[in-house]
Amino acid sequence: MRCRLIATTPTDFEVHLFHEGSLYKSYELFGAHVINENGITGTRFCVWAPHAREVRLVGNFNDWNGSDHSLVKVSEQGVWTIFVPENLEGHLYKYEIVTKNGDVLLKADPYAFYSELRPQTASIVYSLEGYEWNDKAWQRKKLRKPIYQQPMFIYELHFGTWKKKNDGSFYTYQELADELIPYILEHGFTHIELLPLVEHPLDRSWGYQGTGYYSVTSRYGTPHDFMAFVDRCHQAGIGVILDWVPGHFCKDAHGLYLFDGEPTYEYVNFQDRENFVWGTANFDLGKREVHSFLISNALFWMEYFHIDGFRVDAVANMLYWPNSDVRQPNPYAVEFLQKLNEVVFAHDPSVLMIAEDSTDWPRVTSPTYEGGLGFNYKWNMGWMNDILTYMEAAPEYRKSLHHKVTFSLLYAYSENFILPFSHDEVVHGKKSLLNKMPGDYEQKFAQLRLLYAYLVTHPGKKLLFMGGEFGQFDEWKDLEQLDWMLLDFEMHRKMDEYVKELMKFYKRYKALYELDHSPEGFEWIDVHNAEQSIFSFIRKGTKENDLLIVVCNFTPVVYHDYKIGVPLHTTYKEAFNSDAITFGGSGHINKKALAAREEPFHGKPYHVQMTIPPFGISVLRPIRKREERTDDGKEKVHRHVIGRRSR
C-alpha cells in the first residue's frame, strides 16, 4: 500500500471546512489512511459521530476489542480520530460507538474505500492509489467535443443481472469488461449507465439502498478492478455514468442510520427522516457535514474512478418535503443541489449531471446564476409516460390519445432532456417494452421497432434499459440474467439487428442530434392527423438544408401514394424504414427516389407521394443534382446527399 503524506491528526482548518459544508475532498480526512509522518508508518482513522460518548476502533488486528484503541475527539461537533502505528492494509475494522444512553453500536466506516463481501459488513483498510490510467485520449475528447451537439444513446444496465455465469455466479468487473465492451461497441451505444455500485446489502436489489457510499461493491471485485473496467470502457470510446443516490440511504444496522445512536446523517424530525415508500432514511440536506459528505462523494467517484457523469436518483423526493399532504419545496435540497452542481462542474466541465426528476420544477438544467438547479440534463419522464400510454392503447383508440404524442413538443426545449426507457418501466407488473405493445406477435415487434425509431427521431438524447435491444419479453427478474436464449428466435434476433442498424442511422445524420436542445432543430409537417394516427415532422442540423423528413404511422393500415409536404424542391430518398423485411417487417418500403412536386401541401411549398408502412416509420433524406462538364463536353449528373456525413 502506498502511504499518504498527511498528518497523523486532522488540521483545525480541515475540521472547520467539514463543519462548514465545504470540505469537498472529505475522503482525504475521514476513513482509514495508511500514512507516513516523521518516518513512522501507521494507519489513521477518522469518523464523524457528534452525539457519541465514546468511539473505539475494533477489528481483526485487535481481536475486535477496542479497549486499547479509543479515538480522540478533536472537535466539539464530533470529529474523532486515532493513529495506529501499524500498516493495517487489508485488515477488517468497524467503529464501536458508545451512545449517550450507554448503548454500544458496531458501525461500518461511512468513508471506507472497500467493504467485506456480503453478508459480512466490516470495512477494509484499502488504498486507492497506484492504478495507472490509460484514458487520456478519452478525457481530451470529452473536453474538445461537448456532448450537447453529439449523439448520445445510453445503455442502462444492472451488473448482477445483465449476464451470469453458468453456475449462476456473478461476473467480475474484469470479466464484465470482456463481455460488455464488445457488446456495447457492436450495438453502437455511446455510454453505459450502471445502476448503483455503492456497497449495499441485498443481491436482489438494484443497489439504490446503499450502506457504503465510498465503497464500490465487492460483489464483483476490488476498487482497482472497477478502475480497470472504466479505463477499458474509455479506451473503447464508451462513457460511464453511475446511478447515484444522494437523497436517501439504507437503514441496515451497520450503516449510516442513527449512526451514533441519534439522527446524524438524517433529519431529526421523524416525518422528514423516514422514507416510508422505500423503507429508507432521508439525508438531512440542511446539515453542512452532510454537504461535505455527499459533494465529496461525487468528486471521489470522478477523481478515483474517472466516472463521466451521474444520474441523480429521486430528485423529486429531495425537492419537496416527504410525507406531507402539501407539496412544499425543501429549500435545503435546492441549496444542496445547486451547490453540488457548481462544485462538480468547477472540477470537470464535461461531466454529465442528470436529474431523475418527475416534477415540473422549473429550470432544472439552467445554470445556478440564472436561478436554476444547475444540472445539464434531465430525464423526460413526461414524454416517457405519455408515449408508453399511447403505445399501450389499442390502435383504434389512439386517435383519442393524439395529444399524448404532440404534447412533448410544447416543452421539449424547456430543459436539456434525455428520453428514458429505463429500468423503472419494466418491473412491478408493468411488463417489458415488447409485451406492452398490443396486438399479435408480429404486431408487437412492429410497434416496438416503431417506438425505438420514434425515440431516435424525437429531440433529446436517448436511454434504453438492458434487454430492450433484443425484445426481452419478460420484465426484469432479480435473480436471473437476461433471457439471452431469445436470440435463438428469428424475430428477437432481427430486433437485435434492427437496433444496431437504427444506431448507425442515428449517428450518421447530424439532423438527429445536433440541435437536440434548440427549437430550430424540429418542425412539424402534419400534427393534426389524429384520425389516421400519422405524424410527420422535420429534424434539422446546423447547416442549411441539413434535414430529414420523418413519417410515423401508429396503425396497422398501409397507405400508398400518401402525400407529405416537404420544404425543398428536390428528390428524396428513403434513408430508413422500420418495416423492411430484414428487420422482420412486411416490406412496405419506398425503393425508388421520390421527386418533389410543385404543389403546396401541409403548409409546405412542395410535396411527395410515398408509401406509409403499417406500424412503421419512414425517414426521407433530400438529394440534389449538380451538373458539370465531362472531357467530351457532355453534361455529367452527380447526386449528393444533403446532410449526410462523409465516411
pLDDT tens column, 213-252: 999 999 999 999 999 999 999 999 999 999 999 999 999 9
Domain boundary among 487, 508, 529: 508
Same-domain status, 174 and 69 = no
203 — pLDDT class (breaks 50, 70, 90): confident
DSSP three-state, residue 630: coil
7 — pLDDT class (breaks 50, 70, 90): low
Rounded-to-integer distance, Cα 454 and Cα 391, Å? 11
Rounded-to-integer distance, Cα 565 and Cα 95, Å? 71
Give the orientation angle of helix 441-457 with respect to helix 381-392, to 10 degrees: 150
pLDDT tens column, 507-547: 999 999 999 999 999 999 999 999 999 999 999 999 988 99
Residue in 307, 422, 315, 398 with CA at minimum distance from that of residue 361: 315
318 vs 428: which has the higher pLDDT? 318
Rounded-to-integer distance, Cα 221 and Cα 219, Å? 6
Q: What percent of the chain has pLDDT over 90?
A: 89
- The dihedrals phi and psi of 434, each to the nearest 5 degrees, come to -65, -45
CA dihedral angle for residue 503, residue 508, residue 512, residue 518, rounded to 10 degrees:
130
DSSP three-state, residue 216: strand
Strand partners for 31 = 46
Same-domain status, 487 and 525 = no
Q: What is the pLDDT of residue 633?
A: 44
Q: Return the number of other C-beta atoms located less than 10 Å from residue 488's C-beta.
A: 8
Domain boundary among 508, 532, 563: 508
Same-domain status, 194 and 54 = no
Kindly give, in sequence order, each residue whose CB lies less than 8 Å from that of residue 13, ignoring residues fewer than 6 positions away: none
Query: Is 513 domain-assigned?
Result: no
Query: Is 140 domain-assigned?
Result: no
DSSP three-state, residue 320: strand
pLDDT tens column, 354-404: 999 999 999 999 999 999 999 999 999 999 999 999 999 999 999 999 999
Per the structure, the count of domains in the chain is 3
Choosing from 266, 313, 526, 579, which is the catalytic residue?
Answer: 313
Same-domain status, 563 and 439 = no
DSSP three-state, residue 548: strand
Side chain identity at residue 32, one-letter code:
A
pLDDT exceeds cutoff 60 at 634: no
324 — pLDDT class (breaks 50, 70, 90): confident
Kindly give, in sequence order, each residue whose CB lies less than 8 Å from that of residue 404, ignoring residues fewer than 6 positions away: 386, 387, 389, 390
Same-domain status, 305 and 408 = yes
Task: Give the β-pairing of 92-98 and 104-107.
Answer: antiparallel
Strand order in the sheet with 248-249: 248-249, 280-282, 274-275
Same-domain status, 103 and 165 = no
Rounded-to-integer distance, Cα 266 and Cα 257, Å? 7
Kindly give, in sequence order, each residue whose CB lies less than 8 Å from that of residue 141, ignoring residues fewer than 6 positions away: 237
CA terminus-to-terminus distance, the chain: 48
Q: What is the pLDDT of residue 361?
A: 96
pLDDT tens column, 131-187: 999 999 999 999 999 999 999 999 999 999 999 999 999 999 999 999 999 999 999
Domain harbouring 296, CATH code: 3.20.20.80
Stretch 333-356: mean pLDDT: 97
Stretch 406-430: mean pLDDT: 94
Same-domain status, 613 and 480 = no
Q: Provide the 8-state DSSP code for 116.
A: P
Same-domain status, 351 and 427 = yes
H-assigned helices in 509-542: none
Same-domain status, 191 and 210 = yes
Query: Is 4 domain-assigned?
Result: no
Q: What is the pLDDT of residue 615?
A: 98
Rounded-to-integer distance, Cα 61 and Cα 63, Å? 6
User: Do 185 and 235 touch, CB atoms closer than 8 A?
Assistant: no
pLDDT exceeds cutoff 70 at 636: no
Q: What percent of the chain has pLDDT over 70?
A: 95
Q: What is the pLDDT of residue 629?
A: 40
Q: What is the pLDDT of residue 635?
A: 42
Q: What is the pLDDT of residue 605?
A: 97
DSSP 350-412: T-EEEE---S--TTTTS-GGGTS---SEEE-HHHHHHHHHHHHS-GGGGGGGTHHHHGGGGTT
Residue in 27, 29, 26, 25 with CA at minimum distance from that of residue 11: 29
- Tell me the three cell numbers of residue 191: 455510454
Active site residue 392: no
Same-domain status, 208 and 272 = yes
Query: Is 39 domain-assigned?
Result: yes
User: Do 264 and 50 touch, CB atoms closer than 8 A?
Assistant: yes
Side chain identity at residue 465, one-letter code:
F
User: Do 381 and 358 touch, CB atoms closer than 8 A?
Assistant: yes
Largest CA distance in the chain: 102
Stretch 430-444: mean pLDDT: 96
Task: Give the β-pairing of 92-98 and 248-249.
Answer: unpaired
Per-chain mean pLDDT for the chain: 94
Residue in 464, 173, 140, 128 with CA at minimum distance from that of residue 300: 128
Same-domain status, 472 and 525 = no
DSSP 575-617: EEETT-GGGTS------S-EE-BSS-BTTBSEEEEEEE-TTEE
User: Do 220 and 170 touch, CB atoms closer than 8 A?
Assistant: yes
pLDDT exceeds cutoff 60 at 43: yes
pLDDT exceeds cutoff 70 at 4: no
Report the 3 state secondary structure along 429-467.
CCCCHHHHCCCCHHHHHHHHHHHHHHHHHCCCEEEEECC
Helix or strand run (H / E) with residue 139: helix 136-144
Active site residue 289: no
User: Do 553 and 615 touch, CB atoms closer than 8 A?
Assistant: yes
Query: Is 150 domain-assigned?
Result: no
Which of 215-219, 437-441, 633-637 has the lowest average pLDDT?
633-637
DSSP three-state, residue 642: coil
Kindly give, in sequence order, each residue whose CB lies less than 8 Å from that of residue 270, ignoring residues fewer than 6 positions away: none
Domain harbouring 80, CATH code: 2.60.40.10
Domain harbouring 603, CATH code: 2.60.40.1180
Q: Provide the 8-state DSSP code for 644.
A: B
Residue in 495, 478, 479 with CA at minimum distance from that of residue 487: 495
Give the domain extent around 457.
158-508
Q: What is the pLDDT of residue 36?
A: 87
Choosing from 356, 357, 415, 424, which is the catalytic residue?
Answer: 356
H-assigned helices in 236-358: 270-273, 288-305, 315-319, 331-347
Query: Is 6 domain-assigned?
Result: no
Q: Which long-range contacts (CB under 8 A, 24 or more apart) does 177-180 make?
A: 177/228, 177/229, 177/232, 177/233
CA 413, distance to chain mean position in Å, is 20
pLDDT exceeds cutoff 60 at 643: no
Query: Is 142 domain-assigned?
Result: no
Domain boundary among 452, 478, 508: 508
Same-domain status, 202 and 112 = no
Query: Is 130 domain-assigned?
Result: no
